[in-house]
Structure 1
């Protein structure tokens, strides 16, 4: 038991980077909740339910990383021999035990708060595990980068759907049609980072880069397009001058795109993409809070 716990701890530090994923999960949940309340003119205060959703988001992201390690095992054996699963730092059995533990913990956390929210959670976990089978049986899904993105991205959408459903099921914030474009905002932010970190001028043989599939310039333009779409959707949803605050963050992908397209950088500057993700979520949270504060009665 101690050996398994130690192996999982080393695995977590190496591939999960807790401070990065925890920060991302918390900002994701807080900004989504605040924006959902702002679009419906409903007062919102983070509470115990928010804490449960933040913890659940971290657990799901960890679960997804565990699944990714198993999905990519064959590829990593050839291209990334330093990965913990390849080196034997952790075993497949230990990872699957961790997955089972995460599923049980998610059930215990969310069942008392919002039984309805267990549906997207269960679908998300089950679909993520199904991806392991799909990629082993289908070379097109496994090796086709764009096809793989289309097949795997629903795990991110389902996590946002869980947060929204749990929020509207357990608080006065009502469910509205604005949920769809709101969830799309978070999808766009994720996709910006996904394309940005896999865009470079020269692609090594065997590397999984969107720039190697559609070309460096189209890949850079797509990365920039996701960021712009996130800002435009936010402004259209919140319909308030304060909603322009996230638009200011477009300076980061805009500058990064110019540097890359002018060949001043061999690859899209990943730090700029990371700053955009964190900054955009913070700006969205701030904008939503300012909008609510301006409502009669404040927040």
Structure 2
């Protein structure tokens, strides 16, 4: 018993140390956002809110935030519309060559995003030269690039969820006279709404935070917030970025914690805690 208690306490200490190690960078950023020093001196020399005022008054950050929200919402909607039928097909239909299809579909998960960004840049410029189609430096081009990055995550999450839905429910709806689309909408979609919400949140955060690929396909007029932060760091080294990062951390926690509770009360929370789909 004593040896078991020692092991349990050792495990708790190890987990606490691991958690502290993972949270330390975030805590340092948050503390530094109130640093009175203009040169990120550590430990902080005082307390100030000037950096937050500077963030909120910066036109580039304002424009980048609006652009990121527009691009994130549109690209999330697109990947959900495209990813849902793809995931359904992968979970329900057995086709030859599906392994090759999955390799192409999930390639963005393993290819460096810098390489994807450069490939997108070359593709957009080539298309513009050959056909006159303007994608480089436009909202459409950035949204397309983000969709390529986000689609594998959405498909992976939804494929697992579709695999857990009993096909008998859909077959029963078909036997009762529902069309294939109606059976899917009425019998299948309600059972994966939690997965749709989770994948949508994950896709939006991925788009909002994307910088490596975006750098290759934007122009100043459509710069996203992470790109504006990158350019700001090239010129300044004060705690302004720490203040903005703190606001983004709070924004991310708000999305992750508040949105699930907005789905029919606590239905999603009950689903997660009960382990039922």
Q: TM-score, normalised by structure 2?
A: 0.31
Specify which structure has the bigger relative contact order, considering alpha-carbon pairs within 8 angstroms and separated by 6 or more residues.
2
Larger Rg: 2
TM-score (norm 1): 0.29
